[in-house]
């Protein structure tokens, strides 16, 4: 059964590389294209979001600048209001001093009348019989009343101007007090507005900084998604090229070789440039027929678990990945129509396009039932590897 394993791989690579492979490849390409579309869409969304956040941050900065200018204007108005308030306070103080002076002046002007009124009040409190009985009292009373009647108008006339000035001063005092209160209230409102604008500016600044950081984050995300999209494109191109190369290498139908005489072996590569890919026991030889009647086209070796698998000869890796149910395979192009197919690997470190030399590690064998098969072909025709190794 193991002898048929390598033959099955070769046969499947040659015959079953049609519909099933195309179906799997089509599904993989569709999946890669879907991921590419998603990456491009996400990158576009992130870029658009970054632009929107940047624009919003600019608007917030503009709003903050506007609020700062308005706050500065209000601060100037507050300063002016404070100056006006100081002037009004000084005016109130001056008016109060003037009012005090005018009250004193009026008091001095009204002093004679006050003394006269006091004398009259004293006379008025005297009993009438006393005034009649006392000699000269009636004459004195008449004289005092006559004096009062003549002096009172004069005193009133002299103090009229003072009373007018006093009333005007009181009016000025009330007006100045009211103006000072209005200025104090206005200053308080301006200060409140200034504080509100300063708070608004700070809020706009914080909002602008937050939006700016968000814009940078979205911009970085857009760049990362763009790089991912480019990587996907490069990966799709590399995968497509590798699959195309692998398909051309593993297809049985190749260029029609020049007719050779019956029994003439195909030309061999130079001696000493080919080796076994793994150390182990040969379990299936070239063209050996399995129990199922399948003829082997290479050599199969039983090796140690996780054994190192190397390149049998120098060349360029054209294909290196898992192939359906046959483990990981590696195809190496040695030029001039020579290719090597190594199958049964658990994993590979080879990459399509890598140059390898004879003995370069290309992977490892499985940990369970490790069997490695190597097939050498010349323009699609199998060549006996054992003879070439023996000649090296």
33 falls within a domain: no
Domain with 183, as residue range(s), is 49-227
Name beta bridge partners: 331: 319, 341
Same domain? For 210 and 83 the reply is yes
257 falls within a domain: no
Same domain? For 75 and 210 the reply is yes
197 falls within a domain: yes
Same domain? For 195 and 308 the reply is no
- Model confidence band, residue 367 (pLDDT cutoffs 50, 70, 90): very high
Select the more confidently predicted residue: 165 or 249: 165
Same domain? For 223 and 348 the reply is no
For residue 164, pLDDT beyond 70? yes
Taking only the tens place, the pLDDT of each residue in 369-379 is 999 999 999 98
Same domain? For 215 and 269 the reply is no
Taking only the tens place, the pLDDT of each residue in 355-365 is 999 999 999 99
Select the more confidently predicted residue: 30 or 140: 30
Q: What backbone torsions phi and psi does residue 362 show, to the nearest 5 degrees?
A: -120, -10
Same domain? For 181 and 222 the reply is yes
Taking only the tens place, the pLDDT of each residue in 224-254 is 777 777 767 666 655 665 555 555 545 544 4
Contact between 350 and 362 (Cβ < 8 Å): yes
CATH number, domain at 196?
1.10.287
pTM across the whole model = 0.35
Same domain? For 11 and 68 the reply is no
pLDDT for 133 equals 56
Select the more confidently predicted residue: 86 or 326: 86
Most confident of 122-126, 131-135, 211-215: 211-215
Same domain? For 132 and 174 the reply is yes
Select the more confidently predicted residue: 228 or 133: 228
379 falls within a domain: yes
235 falls within a domain: no
| Final residue before a domain boundary, out of 198, 227, 256 | 227
Same domain? For 77 and 165 the reply is yes
Counted domains in the chain: 2
232 falls within a domain: no
Select the more confidently predicted residue: 199 or 158: 199
pLDDT for 5 equals 46
- Model confidence band, residue 209 (pLDDT cutoffs 50, 70, 90): confident
Q: What is the mean pLDDT of the chain?
A: 76
Secondary structure of 263-295 in the HEC alphabet? CCCCCCCCCCCCCCCCCEEEEECCCCECCCCCE
Same domain? For 13 and 107 the reply is no
**Distance (Å, rounded) from C-alpha 382 to C-alpha 250?**
11
For residue 54, pLDDT beyond 70? yes
256 falls within a domain: no
pLDDT for 370 equals 95
Q: Give the rounded percent of residues in the chain with a pLDDT score beyond 70.
A: 69
Lowest mean pLDDT among 155-159, 164-168, 187-191: 155-159
Q: Give the rounded percent of residues in the chain with a pLDDT score beyond 90.
A: 21
In the three-class reduction of DSSP (H, G, I as helix; E, B as strand; rest coil), residue 255 is classed as coil
pLDDT for 371 equals 94
Contact between 267 and 378 (Cβ < 8 Å): yes
Per-residue pLDDT, averaged over 317-346, amounts to 91
- Model confidence band, residue 20 (pLDDT cutoffs 50, 70, 90): very low
CATH number, domain at 371?
2.70.70.10
Same domain? For 180 and 62 the reply is yes
Contact between 63 and 205 (Cβ < 8 Å): no
- Triad 41, 42, 46: Cα angle to 5°: 120
- Model confidence band, residue 303 (pLDDT cutoffs 50, 70, 90): very high
For residue 322, pLDDT beyond 50? yes
| Final residue before a domain boundary, out of 201, 227, 253 | 227
259 falls within a domain: no
- Model confidence band, residue 132 (pLDDT cutoffs 50, 70, 90): low
Same domain? For 293 and 155 the reply is no
């Amino acid at each position: 059964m193991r002898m048929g394993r390598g033959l099955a791989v070769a046969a499947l690579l040659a015959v079953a590389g049609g519909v099933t492979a195309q179906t799997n490849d089509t599904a993989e390409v569709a999946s890669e294209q879907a991921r590419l579309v998603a990456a491009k869409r996400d990158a576009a969304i992130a870029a658009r979001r970054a632009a929107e956040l940047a624009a919003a941050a600019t608007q917030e900065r503009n709003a903050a600048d506007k609020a700062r200018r308005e706050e500065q204007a209000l601060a100037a108005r507050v300063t002016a209001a404070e100056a006006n308030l100081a002037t009004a306070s000084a005016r109130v103080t001056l008016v109060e001093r003037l009012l005090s002076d005018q009250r004193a002046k009026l008091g001095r002007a009204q002093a004679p009348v006050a003394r006269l009124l006091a004398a009259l009040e004293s006379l008025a409190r005297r009993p009438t019989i006393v005034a009649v009985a006392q000699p000269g009292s009636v004459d004195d009373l008449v004289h005092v009343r006559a004096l009062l009647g003549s002096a009172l108008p004069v005193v009133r006339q002299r103090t009229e101007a003072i009373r007018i000035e006093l009333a005007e001063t009181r009016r000025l005092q009330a007006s100045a007090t009211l103006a000072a209160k209005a200025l104090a209230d206005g200053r308080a409102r301006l200060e409140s507005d200034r504080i509100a604008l300063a708070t608004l500016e700070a809020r706009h600044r914080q909002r602008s900084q937050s939006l700016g950081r968000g814009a940078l984050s979205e911009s970085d995300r857009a760049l990362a998604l763009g790089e991912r999209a480019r990587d996907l494109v490069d990966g799709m191109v590399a995968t497509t090229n590798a699959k195309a190369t692998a398909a051309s290498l593993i297809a049985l139908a190749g260029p029609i070789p020049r007719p050779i005489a019956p029994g003439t072996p195909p030309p061999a590569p130079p001696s000493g440039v080919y080796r076994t890919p793994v150390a182990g026991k040969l379990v299936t030889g070239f063209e050996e027929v399995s129990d199922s009647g399948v003829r082997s086209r290479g050599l199969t070796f039983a090796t140690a678990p996780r054994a190192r698998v190397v390149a049998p000869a120098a060349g360029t890796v054209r294909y290196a990945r898992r192939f359906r149910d046959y483990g990981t395979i590696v195809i190496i192009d040695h030029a001039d129509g020579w290719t090597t197919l190594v199958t049964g690997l658990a994993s590979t470190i080879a990459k399509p396009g890598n140059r390898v030399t004879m003995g370069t590690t290309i992977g490892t064998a499985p940990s369970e039932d490790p069997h490695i098969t190597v097939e050498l072909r010349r323009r699609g025709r199998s060549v006996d590897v054992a003879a070439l190794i023996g000649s090296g």
